[in-house]
Amino acid sequence: MIIQKTENSRISTFDPSDFSFGNTFIDHMVICEYEDGKWGDVKVVPYGPLAFTPAMMGVNYGQACFEGMKAYKDKDGQVFLFRPEKNFERINKSAARLAMPEVTEEMFLDGLKALVDLDRDWIPYGEGLSLYIRPLIFATEEALKARVANKYMFAIVATPAKSYYTEPVSVKISDHYSRAANGGVGSAKAAGNYAASFYPTQLAIEEGYEQIIWTDDATHEYFEESGTMNVFVRINDTIFTPPTSEKILDGVTRDSFIQLAKRRGIEVKVEPIPVKTVIEAQKNGTLKEVWGVGTAVVTTVFQALGYQGEKLQLPTLSDEESYAATLKNDLVNIQNNVTEDPFGWRVLVDHVMETV
Ligand SMILES: Cc1ncc(COP(=O)(O)O)c(C=O)c1O
């Protein structure tokens, strides 16, 4: 690994109590280039722009995929990653589906740890605070040819992140647009999946909703995901989430919620969720909660479901009554090293860069 430390650190300009998530970048980034069938050296370099032309294949044909993960700081200043091997596995699954080269564990995990260690001062400490990390792979070959590219870049950039707290939102159950199709790329974190979701989401926002519950493309009769999150439904005291498939992203938060719920003895059913069942449960009063889960905000609770012109309200539960709130609390306590980690999910980031 090649480490090129910045001579112009911006850390003195960073105010952990007043920063803009997604626009504030840490001092360094990881880059690694792929050419002639192999990856070159992993480099940790000062964060900044790179030179590409508009003929870069990644922006023309969309060979681009990414990951989203976080690093957390505990009260003693120790830094932890959360289940990073899951993101490593998933970026390679995404890369394979997009006919891009897979990255090695050394590039991904060692690059990640080196970056987070070097810029650990950028990780804010406190409730809801963390560092959001974005590993990505994109085609860099300069060619206007619709074929698999032969040059790529692997990069990791990161931005301090704040508050998990989000207001309950209203979501529209999609009866027309789809996020993913059978045989498509829904289970990959392909950049194009997000581009394709923006327009339907814009339409839903115009109708007074914040997000879309994506349903299956063939019939629109089954829940798949919600916005950029996996979805959970609670009917009486059982929680349901759809099985992962080639249309559903295998979310790290989803998997963690399933395990945390089982540990608490909550009944979890991983099975297709018919829209009809949810609507009926809302009408007969057995629908208790619907929520989305993902790395960025952990949980977003839904207050209303829009379906075929009707807005169906969901009950308002206290944090003690709510499974969404209880499981979120269990999860963030593990992530922030506040409680035991019975699953072995935390990965400590050692101090190694001080000596470099
Ligand atoms: C489409 C989609 N579904 C689900 C998730 C949740 O995945 P995770 O819990 O790994 O963040 C994400 C966010 O990464 C996503 O983009």
Q: Spelled out in words, what is the top-level CATH class assigned to the domain 2-162?
A: alpha beta
For the Cβ of 229 lying below 6 angstroms from any atom of ligand 1, the answer is yes
pLDDT in tens, 229-241: 999 999 999 999 9
Across the chain, mean pLDDT equals 97
The sign of the CA dihedral 262, 267, 270, 274 is negative
Q: What's the CATH architecture for 169-316?
A: Alpha-Beta Barrel (3.20)
Angle at which helix 323-335 crosses helix 252-263, to 10 degrees, equals 110
Rounded Cα distance, 75 and 56, in Å: 44
For the Cβ of 228 lying below 6 angstroms from any atom of ligand 1, the answer is yes
Percent of the chain clearing pLDDT 70 (strictly above): 99
Model confidence band, residue 356 (pLDDT cutoffs 50, 70, 90): low
* In the predicted structure, residue 355 carries a pLDDT above the cut 70: no
Model confidence band, residue 166 (pLDDT cutoffs 50, 70, 90): confident
224 alpha carbon to ligand 1 midpoint, in Å? 12
* In the predicted structure, residue 164 carries a pLDDT above the cut 80: no
Contact 266, 344 (CB under 8 A): no
Burial class (CB in 10 A: 0-12, 13-18, 19+), 316: exposed
pLDDT attached to residue 165? 65
For the Cβ of 227 lying below 6 angstroms from any atom of ligand 1, the answer is no
pLDDT attached to residue 354? 66
* Shortest-distance Cα residue to atom 16 of ligand 1: 228
Give the amino acid at 66: F
For the Cβ of 224 lying below 6 angstroms from any atom of ligand 1, the answer is no
9 alpha carbon to ligand 1 midpoint, in Å? 32
- Residue 347: phi and psi, rounded to 5, are -125, 115
**Sequence-separated (6 or more) residues with CB below 8 Å from residue 337:** 72, 74, 75, 78, 80, 346
Give the amino acid at 230: N
* Shortest-distance Cα residue to atom 5 of ligand 1: 229
CA-closest candidate to residue 336, choices 78, 15, 68, 69: 78
* Domain residue ranges of the chain, discontinuous segments joined by +: 2-162, 169-316
Contact 326, 319 (CB under 8 A): yes
Map residue 3 onto helix, strand or coil. Answer: strand
- First-to-final CA distance of the chain: 11
Model confidence band, residue 163 (pLDDT cutoffs 50, 70, 90): confident
For the Cβ of 249 lying below 6 angstroms from any atom of ligand 1, the answer is yes
Rounded Cα distance, 128 and 44, in Å: 27
330 alpha carbon to ligand 1 midpoint, in Å? 19
Helices (H), 234-322: 252-263, 275-284
| Contacts for 125-129: CB closer than 8 Å, 24+ residues apart | 125/16, 125/73, 125/74, 125/75, 125/77, 126/16, 127/163, 127/164, 128/162, 128/163, 128/164, 128/165, 128/332, 129/16, 129/73, 129/160, 129/161, 129/162, 129/163
DSSP state of 186: T
Beta-sheet pairing, 28-35 with 152-161:
antiparallel
In this prediction, residues 196-215 reach a mean pLDDT of 97
Q: 284 - beta bridge partners? A: none
Rounded Cα distance, 63 and 99, in Å: 8
pLDDT in tens, 88-101: 999 999 999 999 99
CB atoms within 10 A of CB 341: 14
DSSP state of 163: -
Rounded Cα distance, 116 and 133, in Å: 9
Of ligand 1's listed atoms, the one at least distance from the Cα of 295 is 11
Contact 2, 107 (CB under 8 A): no
Rounded Cα distance, 287 and 70, in Å: 32
Model confidence band, residue 71 (pLDDT cutoffs 50, 70, 90): very high
Of ligand 1's listed atoms, the one at least distance from the Cα of 179 is 1
Of ligand 1's listed atoms, the one at least distance from the Cα of 90 is 10
* Shortest-distance Cα residue to atom 7 of ligand 1: 251
User: What pTM does this model have?
Assistant: 0.97
